[in-house]
């Protein structure tokens, strides 16, 4: 299917990563944070401080989904099990070996793959930690292996601001990608939809993939969001489950079978206007980002974000990249008061805006790459404006009405207005454009949690 | 400007919890955030950058869009004064002085009265002061006749802010357009001061010139005798009035140099405002467009039936008579009281246009149909939205095979 979308908004920022791998010392510590897995409430730790682990050794699991293990991305020593209030598990920190050792999982040659049994695939995935790549919709949480999804969806590009180039990330992983697809297909024989960017050249690794249904989508962000693609290919109805996996996840699954190990190595992009040399680095899941930012920052008054600027999480300069994230963005902090006549609400400004109200001039140069700080640019207010969120959600969904139904805890309303079709990233642009400065993504997550509990 | 912000910040503890002036925190906060966009940054999770717009800027755009109407209104109040008192060749400066003396106090009173109510409610309810009143405070004066007693402006504003807005939960929650509620309040409470033929020109105690008529175009159209035409009635109404020949010609009504409420007479100025609002994307062009279509459709239907001169009047006259242009541009598009779904906006606007003409033609007691049409459709907007939302829900329900 060739999908075209018109609604949405491309945010062009300064600091795109050059297509090169930077040379930085490898991070010493790595951490897995249960908080990266939305909807996980009761992680149970299975290691202790001082334990020696290999890449693929279980660290913890979710008591509500015991089969899926969360494993160590590297080999080394568990140096800290960090807990917060009420002993809430915050992170498990591992001091990495210089040379990574791997837990052994069954290895298959390409020809053996044909004889894989579905049950074995599932067991390997669950045991190794590769399962965590499989996300279920509705809710956007780690998939339940007992579910039977209707289909699996993969988005082959990321349209978020400053997002890494998947071709550069994965160009050498073509055979693993195919193996990952084949393994999933063995495990569960449902359509696997792979959607590529209709506006760009398709990377070789996504061409001629077998066992998938190919689609293209062209349009502004959020065209690359898998949620947008699902909506146009085959929207999720009440009672249905679909799974989504990122290309990274597929490749990791492929490596699990072809190499017999849980390979958590990944390329990450370090981007943003405050990074001296925005480029890629090779590391592992959960890396401490300190080494990549050292001597690589233009100034100190910054915000480091694990992930992209629309959905990411602010972290400290020496903290750890999120489990699913493949980029670190650094923005200037925007905590300066702005006088209303010089650069505040009555002054003309070239700050980025989706709107064209008095003095908002950014619409004159939509393609320009900008430096944008983290200012809220206002204060929270009651909803007044209408008709704007609709322009950045390329789905047949009424975002404002959905958000209001969540705020009113109207279960029937949420369901019938399409909450099953969205997660945070699908409404991230609504949060960006909102004049009233509400935390739309947070509200949507609250709604999802209400339904999961209810 | 940092020093100014520092000075303000130094005063802050006085207004915070435990401070001497704790009660007035939100008043202080409103002042500070008026002067300075606050240094607040985005939360640690979610969208880390936000659109440069805020509610203040959005509301200010609407205020700016009304300024042409206000300036023209000031001129026109002065001009009508001299025209009525037999001095049509008065100097521009004199016209503007008379107009300003009459209009500006009304603006100031509306802003002050409404502002005080807003502040009191912000203090009682402990919420920030909303910027919506920037617009309401300007809309109210523009819908008033030039000679309205100031105490009535104050009373109507207070009534509207309390009953139409705060009683429903404050900004964003109101069903009715606040400014129109103020006007409707006066219309029904003090009809002699806001309707009839005595109030549309400020006389200032001077006697009127021979042949003067204080009627508005709508009243003349309603009163046109069977067998004549509205155009002829408008033409002959001012034939004996020196200096005012052709006062109600099409062009003159389009420009708006006619008696009426302060800001509503000029269709050209409303159009200018509409251009600003639509280009800025602040008001819905769908409501404006469908409103015009609605008025024309009703006009053509009446033409087809045609039993009174008003029914037979060319439909496009409805667009420039009375407050239609002003109302459809500035009142009907109020995002809170209008339909909130995009499809709903088409329906909502269409019926405003349609009902305006219907009320004008069939209800001589209320020659200004737009006010009641908008208020009526304000009430129906949630119903329209309900069906649009239901259709969205049904589409979703239909595609599931369960």
Q: What percent of chain A has pLDDT over 90?
A: 87
**Which pLDDT value is given to residue B10?**
85
β A327-332/A338-339 pair status? unpaired
Output B18-26 pairs: Cβ under 8 A, ≥24 positions apart.
B23/B123, B24/B123, B26/B119, B26/B122, B26/B123, B26/B126, B26/B127, B26/B128, B26/B129
pLDDT grade for B388, boundaries at 50, 70 and 90: very high
Q: Where are the alpha helices (DSSP H) in B143-258?
A: 150-159, 178-189, 217-223, 230-237, 250-255
Residue in chain B lying closest to A358 (CA): B61
Pair type for strands A65-71 and A58-62:
antiparallel
Disruptive mutation site among B4, B45, B384 for chain A (greatest number of A CBs within 10 Å): B45
What is the C-alpha radius of gyration for chain A, rounded to an integer number of angstroms? 22
Q: Cβ contacts (< 8 Å) between B64 and chain A: which residues?
A: 358
Q: Specify the pairing of strand B36-37 against strand A338-339.
A: antiparallel
Asked which of A137-151, A425-439, B358-372 is least confident by mean pLDDT, the reply is B358-372
Which residue is closest to B46 within chain A, CA to CA? A311
Distance of CA A357 to the CA centre of its chain: 32
Task: Please answer whether residues B208 and B85 qualify as being in contact, where contact means their C-beta atoms are separated by less than 8 angstroms.
Answer: yes
Calpha distance B368→B388 (Å, rounded): 30
Which residue among A309, A384, A416 sits closest to B336, beta carbon to beta carbon? A384
Given A305, A313, A385, which is nearest B58 (Cβ)?
A: A385
Please determine, for the modelled complex, whether the ipTM score is greater than 0.90.
yes
**Rounded distance between C-alpha atoms, residue B318 and residue B255, angstroms:** 14
Q: Packing angle between helix B55-84 and helix B267-280, nearest 10 degrees? A: 170
Q: Chain A interface, mutation test: which of B47, B169, B382, B390, most A Cβ atoms within 10 Å?
A: B47
Contacts by residues A40-48 (CB-CB < 8 Å, ≥ 24 positions apart): A40/A64, A40/A141, A40/A142, A43/A70, A43/A89, A45/A81, A45/A89, A45/A92, A47/A78, A47/A81, A47/A92, A48/A78, A48/A81
> How many whole angstroms separate alpha carbon A188 and alpha carbon A185?
5
Tokens 């849980």 correspond to A262
Residue B311: φ, ψ to 5°: -65, -30
Q: Which of B375, B387, B371, B378 is nearest to B145 (CA)?
A: B371
User: How close, in Å, is residue B115 to chain A by CA atoms?
Assistant: 17
Residues 213-242 of A with CB under 8 A from B: 235, 237-240
pLDDT tens for residues A311-323? 999 999 999 999 9
A431 contacts in chain B (CB < 8 Å): 46-47, 50
Residues B93-103 have a mean pLDDT of 95
A215 and A229 Cβ atoms separated by less than 8 Å: yes
**Nearest-angstrom CA–CA distance, B290 and B31:** 39
Average model confidence (pLDDT) across chain A: 94
Query: What pLDDT, on the 0 to 100 scale, is given for residue B402?
Result: 52
Query: DSSP characters for B225-238?
Result: PTTS-HHHHHHHHT
pLDDT for B194: 87
Q: With an 8 Å Cβ cutoff, are B45 and A342 in contact?
A: no
Provide, as residue numbers in chain B, all residues whose Cβ is less than 8 Å from the Cβ of A390.
342
Cα–Cα–Cα angle for A310, A336, A314, rounded to 5 degrees: 30
pLDDT value at residue B276: 96
pLDDT value of residue A417: 95
C-alpha closest to that of A375 among B39, B5, B46: B39
Whether the Cβ atoms of residue B41 and residue A333 lie closer than 8 Å to each other: yes
What's the pLDDT tens digit per position in B25-34?
Answer: 888 888 888 8
> In the beta sheet, which residues pair with residue A197?
A217
Mean pLDDT of all residues in B52-67: 94
* Residues B326, B144: Cα–Cα separation, whole Å: 12
Q: What is the pLDDT of residues A120-151, one digit of tens each?
A: 999 999 999 999 999 999 999 999 999 999 99
A333 touches chain B (CB under 8 A): yes
In angstroms, the CA A342 to CA A134 distance is 50
Q: Which tokens belong to A202?
A: 């398709």
CA–CA distance from A189 to each of A108, A181, A235, A241 (Å)? Answer: 20, 11, 19, 14
Mean pLDDT, residues A381-410 taken together: 94
CA distance A408 to B229: 56
How much is the average pLDDT of A340-351? 88
Nearest CA-CA distance, residue A423 and chain B, Å:
12
Chain B residues touching A383 at Cβ < 8 A: 172
What residues of chain B, 23 to 82, have a C-beta less than 8 Å from chain A? 33-58, 60-61, 64
A15, pLDDT greater than 90:
yes
Residue A227 has a pLDDT of 97
- Strand A313-315 vs strand A302-306: parallel, antiparallel, or unpaired? antiparallel
Q: Given this model, what pLDDT does residue B193 score?
A: 87
Are A338 and B36 within 8 A, CB to CB? yes
Distance of CA B311 to the CA centre of its chain: 26
pLDDT of the residue at B3? 81
Report which DSSP code applies to B163.
I
B83: distance to nearest CA of chain A, Å?
Answer: 37
The C-alpha atoms of residue B192 and residue B199 are separated, in whole angstroms, by 8
Residue B400 has pLDDT above 80, yes or no: no
Angstrom distance (rounded) from CA B104 to CA B270 = 19
Interface size, chain A vs chain B, as Cβ–Cβ contacts under 8 Å: 233
- Determine whether the interchain pair B51/A373 forms a contact, defined as Cβ–Cβ distance below 8 Å: no
What whole-number percentage of chain A has pLDDT above 70?
Answer: 100
Tell me, what's the pLDDT at B401? 61
pLDDT in tens, A16-62: 999 999 998 899 999 999 999 998 888 999 999 999 999 999 999 99
Mean predicted confidence (pLDDT) in B304-330:
92
Per DSSP, the three-state class of A175 is: helix
List all residues 6 or more positions away from B199 whose beta carbon is below 8 Å from its beta carbon. B145, B146, B147, B148, B192, B193, B214
What's the token pair of residue B96? 């503007």
Domain ranges of chain B: 55-191, 227-391
* Chain B residue with the nearest C-alpha to that of A310: B47
A295–chain B nearest CA distance, Å = 24
Residue B69 to chain A, least CA–CA distance (Å): 17
Residues 201-260 of B with CB under 8 A from A: none
Report the C-alpha dihedral over residues B329, B335, B338, B343, rounded to 10 degrees. 100
pLDDT computed for residue A175 by the predictor:
94
Please give the order of strands across the beta sheet that includes A302-306: A279-284, A265-271, A327-332, A302-306, A313-315
Task: State the number of CA atoms in the 13 A half-sphere of A26 facing the CB.
Answer: 18
Q: Which region among A284-293, B68-77, B165-174 has the lowest average model confidence (pLDDT)?
A: B165-174
Hey, are the CB atoms on B53 and A378 less than 8 Å from each other? yes
């Amino acid at each position: 299917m060739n999908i075209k979308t018109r609604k949405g908004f491309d945010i062009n920022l300064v600091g795109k990563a050059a297509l090169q791998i930077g040379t930085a010392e490898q991070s010493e510590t790595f951490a897995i944070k249960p908080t990266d897995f939305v909807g996980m409430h009761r992680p149970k730790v299975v290691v202790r401080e001082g334990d020696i682990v290999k890449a693929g050794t279980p660290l913890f699991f979710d008591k509500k989904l015991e089969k899926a293990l969360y494993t160590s991305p590297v080999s080394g020593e568990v140096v800290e099990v960090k807990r917060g209030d009420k002993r809430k598990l915050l992170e498990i920190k591992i001091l990495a070996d210089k040379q990574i050792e791997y837990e052994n999982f069954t290895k298959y040659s390409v020809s053996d793959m044909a004889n894989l049994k579905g049950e074995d695939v599932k067991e390997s995935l669950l045991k190794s930690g590769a399962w965590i790549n499989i996300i279920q919709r509705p809710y956007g949480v780690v998939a339940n292996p007992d579910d039977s999804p209707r289909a699996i969806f993969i988005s082959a590009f990321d349209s978020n601001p400053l997002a890494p180039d998947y071709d550069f990330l994965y160009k050498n992983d073509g055979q693993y990608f195919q193996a990952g697809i084949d393994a999933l297909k063995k495990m569960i024989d449902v359509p696997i939809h792979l959607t590529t960017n209709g506006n760009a050249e398709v990377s070789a690794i996504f061409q001629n993939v077998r066992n998938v249904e190919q689609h293209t989508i062209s349009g502004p962000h959020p065209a690359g969001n898998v949620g947008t693609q699902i909506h146009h290919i085959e929207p999720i109805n009440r009672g249905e489950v679909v799974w989504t996996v990122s290309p990274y996840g597929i490749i990791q699954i492929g490596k699990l079978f072809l190499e017999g190990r849980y390979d958590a190595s990944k390329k990450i992009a370090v981007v943003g206007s405050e990074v001296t040399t925005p480029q890629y680095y090779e590391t592992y899941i959960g890396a401490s980002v300190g080494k990549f930012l050292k001597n690589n920052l233009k100034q100190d008054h910054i915000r480091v974000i694990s992930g992209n600027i629309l959905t990411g999480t602010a972290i400290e300069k020496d903290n750890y990249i999120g489990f699913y994230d493949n980029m670190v963005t650094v923005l200037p902090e925007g905590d300066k008061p702005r006088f209303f006549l010089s650069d505040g609400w009555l002054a003309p400004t070239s700050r980025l805006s989706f709107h064209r109200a008095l003095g908002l001039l950014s619409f004159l140069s939509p393609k320009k790459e900008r430096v944008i700080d983290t200012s809220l640019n206002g204060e929270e207010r009651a909803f007044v404006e209408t008709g704007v969120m609709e322009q950045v959600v390329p789905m047949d969904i009424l975002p404002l009405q959905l958000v209001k139904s969540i705020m009113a805890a109207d279960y029937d309303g949420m369901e019938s207005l399409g909450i099953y079709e969205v997660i945070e990233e699908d409404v991230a642009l609504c949060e960006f454009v909102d004049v009233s400065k509400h935390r739309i993504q947070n509200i949507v997550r609250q709604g999802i949690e209400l339904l999961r509990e209810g | 400007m940092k020093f100014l912000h520092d000075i303000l910040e130094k005063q802050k503890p006085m207004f915070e919890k435990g401070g001497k002036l704790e009660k007035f925190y939100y008043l202080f906060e409103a002042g500070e955030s008026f002067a300075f966009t606050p240094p607040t940054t985005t939360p640690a999770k979610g969208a880390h950058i936000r659109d440069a717009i805020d509610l203040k800027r959005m509301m200010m755009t609407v205020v700016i869009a009304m300024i042409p109407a206000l300036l023209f209104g000031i001129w026109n109040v002065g001009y009508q004064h001299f025209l009525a008192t037999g001095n049509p060749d008065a100097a521009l400066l004199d016209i503007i002085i008379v107009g300003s003396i009459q209009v500006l106090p009304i603006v100031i009173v509306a802003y002050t009265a409404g502002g005080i109510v807003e502040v009191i409610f912000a203090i009682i309810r402990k919420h920030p002061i909303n910027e919506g009143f920037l617009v309401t405070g300007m809309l109210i004066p523009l819908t008033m006749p030039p000679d309205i007693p100031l105490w009535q402006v104050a009373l109507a504003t207070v009534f509207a802010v309390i009953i139409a807005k705060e009683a429903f939960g404050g900004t964003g929650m109101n069903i009715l357009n606040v400014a129109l509620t103020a006007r409707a309040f006066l219309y029904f409470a003090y009809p002699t001061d806001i309707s009839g033929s005595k109030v549309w020109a400020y006389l200032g105690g001077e006697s009127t010139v021979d042949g003067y008529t204080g009627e508005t175009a709508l009243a003349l159209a309603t009163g046109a005798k069977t067998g004549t035409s509205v155009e002829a009635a408008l033409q002959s109404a001012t034939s004996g009035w020196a200096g005012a020949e052709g006062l109600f010609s099409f062009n003159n009504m389009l420009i708006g140099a006619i008696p009426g409420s302060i800001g509503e007479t000029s269709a050209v100025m409303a159009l200018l405002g509409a251009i600003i609002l639509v280009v800025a994307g602040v008001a819905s062009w769908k409501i404006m467009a469908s409103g015009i279509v609605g008025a024309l459709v009703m006009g053509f239907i009446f033409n087809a039936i045609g039993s009174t001169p008003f029914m037979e009047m060319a439909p496009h006259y409805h667009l420039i008579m009375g407050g239609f242009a002003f109302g459809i541009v500035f009142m009907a598009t109020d995002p809170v009281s209008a339909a909130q779904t995009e499809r709903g906006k088409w329906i909502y606007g269409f019926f405003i246009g349609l009902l305006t003409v219907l009320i004008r033609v069939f209800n001589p007691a209320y020659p200004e149909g737009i006010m009641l049409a908008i208020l009526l459709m304000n009430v129906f907007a949630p119903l329209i939205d309900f069906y649009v939302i239901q259709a969205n829900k049904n589409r979703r329900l239909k595609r599931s095979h369960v």
